[in-house]
C-alpha cells in the first residue's frame, strides 16, 4: 500500500527555526516535494529532493533519506508570512501522493 | 508567462445537478491534474490527463470525469452532485507529467452544493 504522514499542526515564534517531518511508504518512489499553501490560495512549489541529502533555498531547506523513507522541511528565521499549510508530496511512478498538510502558525 | 487559469472561481449548485469546471494550463504544459481539497481530507488526487488521454485516476466515483483538448485545456465534470462534493477543486499543470516536475496550481474553483 501507500501512505504518507506529517504532523497536522506546528506552532513556532517569529525568528525561530521549525522542522516539519514527513514519512512515507510507496512503491516506485522517485522524489519528495514540498508545497506551501496560504489560506484560500493555490499551493506553490517550494522544493524537490530526488537524492539523499539537504537542498537549500534561502530560508527553506529540505532533506531526504530514501533508506529511511523520511524527509523534512526546515524553515529558518520564521516570519509571520510563513504561516500557511505545508504539504509533503511523494512522487511515484506517474503519480503524486499528497499528504494532508501541516498547518504552521507563526506567533509574534 | 500566464499561470494556470481556472474558471469559474465560485459556483453554487443544488443536489442532483451537474457541473463542468475548466482549466487552462501554462503554455507548453501537456499534463493537467485535478485535485479535490476539503478541510477534513486535504488534497486528494482526482485524475491526470496527458496529451488528451487520462493517464492516472484517483479513487473517486464515476460521477467525476474529465477530458483534455488538443490545446491541453482540460475540463472536469461532476454529475448528480451530492452535498459532500462541496470543495475547492484545484487544477495543476506541468510540462510532461505528474512526476518530478513542479506542479503549477491554479487558484481553484470553490464549489458549494446546497
**Nearest-by-CA chain B residue for A30:** B100
Q: Three cell numbers at A93?
A: 511512478
Contact A87 B42 (CB under 8 A): yes
Residues in chain B closer than 8 A to A100 (CB atoms):
41-43
Percent with pLDDT over 90 in chain A? 78
Alpha-carbon span B114 to B106, nearest angstrom: 25
| Residue A59 confidence (pLDDT) | 96
Residue A95 confidence (pLDDT) above 80: no
Contact B104 A45 (CB under 8 A): yes
Q: Are A33 and A47 in contact (CB under 8 A)?
A: yes
Of A45, A97, A99, the CB nearest to B103: A45
Residues 4-43 of A with CB under 8 A from B: 30-31, 33, 35, 41-43
Q: Which residue has the higher pLDDT, B106 or B56?
A: B106
Average pLDDT, chain B: 92
Alpha-carbon span B12 to B35, nearest angstrom: 18
| Residue B86 confidence (pLDDT) | 96
- Rounded to an integer, the average pLDDT of B53-67 is 93
Q: Furthest-apart CA pair in chain A: how many Å?
A: 42
| Residue B98 confidence (pLDDT) | 58
- Rounded to an integer, the average pLDDT of B84-97 is 91
Q: For A23-61, how does the pLDDT look when each residue is reduced to its tens digit (9 = 90+)? A: 999 888 889 999 999 987 899 999 999 999 999 989 999
For B3, counting Cβ atoms within 10 Å of its Cβ (0-12 exposed, 13-18 middle, 19+ buried), the class is middle
Amino acid at each position: 500500500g501507500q501512505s504518507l504522514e506529517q504532523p497536522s499542526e506546528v506552532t513556532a515564534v517569529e525568528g525561530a527555526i521549525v522542522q516539519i517531518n514527513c514519512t512515507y511508504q510507496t512503491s516506485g518512489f522517485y522524489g519528495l516535494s514540498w508545497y506551501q499553501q496560504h489560506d484560500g490560495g493555490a499551493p506553490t512549489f517550494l522544493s524537490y529532493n530526488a537524492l539523499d541529502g539537504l537542498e537549500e533555498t534561502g530560508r527553506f531547506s529540505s532533506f531526504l533519506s530514501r533508506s529511511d523513507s523520511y524527509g523534512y522541511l526546515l524553515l529558518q528565521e520564521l516570519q509571520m508570512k510563513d504561516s500557511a499549510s505545508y504539504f509533503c508530496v511523494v512522487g511515484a511512478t506517474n503519480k503524486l501522493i499528497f499528504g494532508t498538510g501541516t498547518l504552521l502558525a507563526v506567533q509574534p | 508567462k500566464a499561470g494556470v487559469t481556472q474558471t469559474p472561481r465560485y459556483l453554487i449548485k443544488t443536489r442532483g445537478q451537474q457541473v463542468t469546471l475548466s482549466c487552462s494550463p501554462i503554455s507548453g504544459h501537456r499534463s493537467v491534474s485535478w485535485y479535490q481539497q476539503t478541510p477534513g481530507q486535504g488534497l486528494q488526487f482526482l485524475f491526470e490527463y496527458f496529451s488528451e488521454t487520462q493517464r492516472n485516476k484517483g479513487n473517486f466515483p464515476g460521477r467525476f470525469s474529465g477530458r483534455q483538448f488538443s490545446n491541453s485545456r482540460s475540463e472536469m465534470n461532476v454529475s448528480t452532485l451530492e452535498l459532500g462534493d462541496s470543495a475547492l477543486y484545484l487544477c495543476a499543470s506541468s510540462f510532461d507529467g505528474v512526476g518530478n516536475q513542479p506542479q503549477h496550481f491554479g487558484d481553484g474553483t470553490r464549489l458549494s452544493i446546497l
